[in-house]
Amino acid sequence: MSRIYDVAVIGAGVVGMSILRELTRYRLKVCCLERMEDVAEGASKANSGIVHAGYDPIEGTKKARFNVEGNNIFADVCNELDVEYKMIGSLVVAFDDHEINVLEELLQRGKRNGVKGLEIKGQEWVFANEPNLSRNIKAALFAPYSGITNPYKLTIALFENAIQNGADVIFDFEVCKIEKDGNYFVVHSADGRFVKSRLLINCAGVHADEISKMAGSKLFKIYPRRGQYYILDKPEKMPVARVIFQVPTEKGKGILVTPTVDGNVLVGPNSEYIDSKDDTATTQEGLDEVFEKARRVMPSLSKRDVITIFSGIRATPDTHDFIIEEDENIKNFINVAGIESPGLTSSVAIGRYIAELVSDKLNAKINLNFNPYREDIKRFSELSDGEREKMIKLYPSFGNIVCRCELVSEYEIVEAIRRGARTIDSVKRRTRAGMGRCQGGFCLPRVMDILSRELKIDKTHITKFGKNSYILTEKRWED
Amino acid sequence: MEKYKVVVIGSGPAGLAAALESFKNLDDKKVLIIERDKFLGGILNQCIHPGFGLHYFKEELTGPEYAHRFIEQVIESQIEYLTETHVIDITPEKEIVAVNKKGLKRIKADSIVLAMGCRERTRGAIITPGTRPAGIFTAGQAQRFINIEGYRIGKKAIIVGSGDIGLIMARRLTLEGIEVKAVVEIMPYSTGLRRNIVQCLDDFGIPLLLSHKLVKIHGRYRVEGVTIAKVDFKLKEIPSTERFIECDTVLFSVGLIPENELSKKAGIVLDMRTGGPVVDNTFSTSQKGIFACGNVLHVHDLVDNVTLEAQTAGRYAAMYSQYPELFENNIYINIVAKEGIKYVVPQKLNKTFVQPFVLRFRVDNFYKDAVVTISNAGKVLIKIKKSILTPGEMESIEISQKILSQLDFSNDIVVSLQNI
């Protein structure tokens, strides 16, 4: 692999991958450098998965612009990439007059941002449409163009499509030094590898300020802000039809209750500034806070239905807005930093904006071979019995169910590995094997068998998510 | 569509015993077992410790040995079975859709026995805070990796939960050269058998920390340790009793949940307390011709009891497939769990089959010197004194012909507990 590129992107989150994919529309040699073993290992795997309408950000900000633009093109991008996106609408619920005033402010702000369809609905409408919500709710702001998606599946789809179109993604590449060599940036990884690139884009998420500093660029600060979540088992009947927000505070959009595109219920997040940028621990206090506040909105919420808990870290910038700009002193170094909420919604629009900016700067020609379409893995759980039968005829492994909670077949796991999954978590995010109610209790050893066979490695070398996350420590006997 | 008299789903101890008993009682011996794993025997295959069969065989066997005795009979009788075959749907009309590498199969059964067993509760289900590194296992996963695949899962471990499985795994890890730092139990008592506490912990010097809770898991890539704390009688953490224990492995053995996703698809009514179907004394569920037994019905502590229960279910399943009319228009008496009793199985007595049966139940707390009574129409029919009762131990009481003859069929049967 040649190590000289036109553009290198640091960070394989949803923003980095969106930029990478958009760059492949041009005849450019592009790569992404990622410190972990897979894409979406940071904030992109642990957020609410909401496609926001755009009434939250203050007008005139980059957040407002990219949110609304992102929302407008989200469906098209998901359609091209075969990623689930459901425009289910959202409600911001208000419990008193003060909160109703906030709804009014949000409505006006949304209108100024160009958000369509916003309406304040009364109690009666709310209970008729969301019968499981608290009777103490007085009114709600309805945003019909809000939606839900799966954030890591979008990131994976962008990654696969970028690869299809000729991009490179270099994993396990932890950037430790950035030098200038003539017209090139030389980006070094901790293990001695390096990459040269004419243009460098910093999408390092919560670590973006460190990367910026390494490049000698403007000093800004990213504060890690953690949010904790519950995932509930797939209910027989979804308790809410829309994304249910509470009135936002200065700490963010607050705790929500929403269906996920996969059919679970998601509850969270709270918001707390933390010291370490990689501290994705959940805490008793945080979890208690989330549950208490969520029950205020939906009193029937039960801990019995919880199948897992997790936390995600938002990259909150000290500038109070997305940082999306070329450094005025360092030519060809572009910071795309501080992309906290609504970052997922904005990611696809940011990708387009940056790709246009870069192609102008580098005078890049259009890549006529660019193929915007990517097909998802065929999923046993989503097919009819007739289609299943046809698939099993073609691929017998489609009839071998590995994950019984989520009905994931061996075929899907092999296909995920073929597309780049190397770890238990990367198989999980691509196939849902291990994401069900038994959380891999049954399928973990079976997924390991398949990884070991397909990658031709011993099971002691299989990790949960790279680095030292080994599952097994020693082989005791041969079969 | 293929047709069978009885189809048994699952080939653990319940499935094997139900299939054998159905087979014995059928004239037209069309019985099929469907198993999703490679081998018959279910989870017994990975339970290589002894202690199985003491009641049923009057000798001490390992899990695979216990299963083998039934598997041999299944093979000798030439009962049909499918392995690596996954049932994806059961309809109330008793049509089964199963899938394997050869394709999708549709099977029509005259009666079905559900014997899918249970799954383990996880770290997430009990909402354990902390990071999510590698090195966190359920007891069942650890058992499979160690006993079947021959791997070591770590060097220093903490076990959460002191039921029999947790205790047995403490010994198993120790024998594999993994240091077990402690077994942490949130309740003030272990739900495991006394002999397991002695043989699995005391003999190896492993501490059992009662009234302790795992409050946090540490470690970014692999577990680096846990924080534990004492809890009060409300199971609430007592401040400033936290203690860090260094380890690279956490093993959760915190309970089992009957696996009834298929039962729900078939429209079967479930009992919130057992997590399994509501059944009568024929082990018939709310869907006529669908029976349930073993851990899919309620979680057992002894496999011997599973076998006995499954034999009854298998016998009635065979009867249903030959004489379904016997199961039409049945009338039931409810069997109700009252004070001190967490649940009873069966939950109903079928008036058409007033035959001696075993009532199984669990108590809802730890009791010393108590009396369990079974009464009907205000009359106490059975009264049994017990010096110790714990939620971890399943109790059984035989309902004999003599007792049945005294029943007032217009009233519930009530099971309750009184302190002496």
- Encode pLDDT of B275-315 as tens digits: 999 999 999 999 999 999 999 999 999 999 999 999 999 99
Q: Which of A405, A437, A472 sits opposite B145 (nearest CB)?
A: A472
Of the partner residues A281, A282, A470, the one whose CB lies closest to the CB of residue B134: A470
Return the residue of A nearest to B149 by Cα.
Answer: A479
Q: For residue B83, what is the nearest residue in chain A, using CA coordinates?
A: A400
| pLDDT, tens digit, 9 for 90 and up, residues B347-376 | 999 999 999 999 999 999 989 999 999 999
pLDDT one-digit tens code per residue, B83-119: 999 999 999 999 999 999 999 999 999 999 999 999 9
- CB-nearest to B152 from A279, A465, A473 is A473
Residues of chain A found within 8 Å of residue B155, distances taken between Cβ atoms: 473
Whole-model pTM? 0.96
Cβ neighbours of B127 in A, within 8 Å: 230, 287, 303, 306, 309
Residues 6+ apart with CB under 8 A from B412: B333, B334, B335, B336, B376
Q: Do B222 and A469 touch (CB under 8 A)?
A: yes
A461: annotated active-site residue? no
Interchain proximity B144–A284, CB inside 8 Å: no
Cβ–Cβ of A464/B134 closer than 8 Å?
yes
Judged by CB atoms closer than 8 Å, whether chains meet at B127 and A477 is answered as no
State whether A389 and B132 contact (CB < 8 Å).
no
Chain B interface disruption, residue of A272, A308, A384, A453, most B CBs within 10 A: A308
CB nearest B150 (choices: A236, A278, A475): A475
Taking one residue from A and the other from B, the number of pairs with CB-CB distance under 8 angstroms is: 138
Q: Is the CB of residue A467 less than 8 Å from the CB of residue A434?
A: no
| Contact assignment for B216 to A283 by CB distance below 8 Å | yes
The count of residues in chain B is: 420
Instruction: Locate the DSSP E strands across A247-328.
Output: 256-259, 265-268, 272-273, 306-317, 323-326
Q: What residues contact residue B417 under an 8 Å CB cut-off, 6+ apart?
A: B339, B340, B341, B363, B367, B370, B371, B372, B373, B389
Chain B residues with CB under 8 Å of A467 CB are 221
Q: What residues have CB less than 8 Å from A182, skipping those under 6 apart?
A: none
pLDDT (0 to 100) of residue B312: 98
- Helices marked H in B25-113: 63-76
| Minimum-distance CB partner of B125 among A307, A400, A467 | A307
Burial label, A147 (beta-carbon count in 10 A; 0-12, 13-18, 19+): buried
The pLDDT score that the predictor gives to residue A479 is 63
Neighbours of A76 (CB within 10 A): 12
Question: Is there a contact between A281 and B216 if contact means CB atoms under 8 Å apart?
Answer: yes
pLDDT value of position A2: 53
Kindly identify which residue of chain B lies nearest to residue A423, measuring between CA atoms: B134
Instruction: Answer yes or no: do A441 and B103 touch at CB < 8 A.
Output: no
- Closest to A473 (Cβ–Cβ): which among B88, B123, B153? B153
Min Cα–Cα distance to chain B from A430, Å: 19
Both structure tokens of B14: 């319940």
With vertex at residue A89, the alpha carbon angle to CA A88 and CA A94, rounded to the nearest 5 degrees, is: 140
Give the phi and the psi of residue B228 in degrees, each rounded to 5.
-120, 160
Q: How far is CA A467 from the centre of its chain?
A: 21
Q: What would the two tokens of residue B114 be? A: 């559900």
Please tell me the predicted confidence (pLDDT) of residue A218: 79
Q: How far is A383 from chain B (nearest CA, A)?
A: 12
Cβ <8 Å between B122 and A307: yes
Torsion sign (Cα): A73, A78, A80, A81:
positive
> What is the reported pLDDT for A219?
84
Q: How far does B11 lie from chain A, in Å, by closest CA?
A: 16
Nearest-CA distance from A396 to chain B in Å? 5
Closest-CA residue in chain B for A475? B151
Task: Say how far apart CA B322 and CA B319 lie, in whole Å.
Answer: 5
Kind of pairing, strands B156-160 and B179-184? parallel
Q: Is A43 helix (H, G, I), strand (E, B) or coil?
A: helix
Distance from C-alpha of A355 to C-alpha of A374, rounded to nearest angstrom: 19
| Backbone conformation region of residue B41, classed left if phi is above 0, alpha if psi is from -120 to 50, else beta | left
Model confidence pLDDT, tens digit, residues B2-36: 999 999 999 999 999 999 999 999 999 999 999 99
pLDDT of residue A248: 86
CB contact (8 A) between residue A306 and residue B154: no
Task: List average pLDDT for each run of 10 residues in chain A, which is 479 residues long.
Answer: 87 98 98 98 97 97 98 98 98 96 97 97 98 97 98 98 98 97 96 97 98 93 97 96 92 88 97 94 97 96 96 96 96 97 98 98 97 98 97 98 97 98 98 97 97 98 97 88
Residue B138 CA to residue B153 CA, distance in Å, equals 12
Query: Nearest C-alpha of chain A: how many angstroms from B222?
Result: 5
- State how far residue B31 is from chain A, nearest Cα, in angstroms: 23
Q: Which amino acid is at A449?
A: D
Asked whether the beta carbons of residue A476 and residue B151 sit closer than 8 angstroms, the reply is yes
Interface contact A284-B129, CB threshold 8 A:
yes
Query: What distance in Å separates the CA atoms of residue B68 and residue B74, rounded to the nearest whole number?
Result: 10
Q: Residue B391 has what pLDDT?
A: 87
- Give how far B266 is from chain A: nearest CA, Å: 13
Q: Of A52, A188, A207, A461, which is the active-site residue?
A: A52
- Write down the pLDDT at residue A1: 44
Assess contact for A421 and A153: CB atoms under 8 A.
no
- Residues of chain B with Cβ-Cβ distance to A395 below 8 Å are none
Chain B contact set for A397 (CB, 8 A): 101
CA distance A395 to A388: 10
What is the predicted pLDDT for the residue at B191? 85
User: In residues, how long is chain A?
Assistant: 479
CA neighbor of B9 nearest in space, from B248, B249, B310: B310
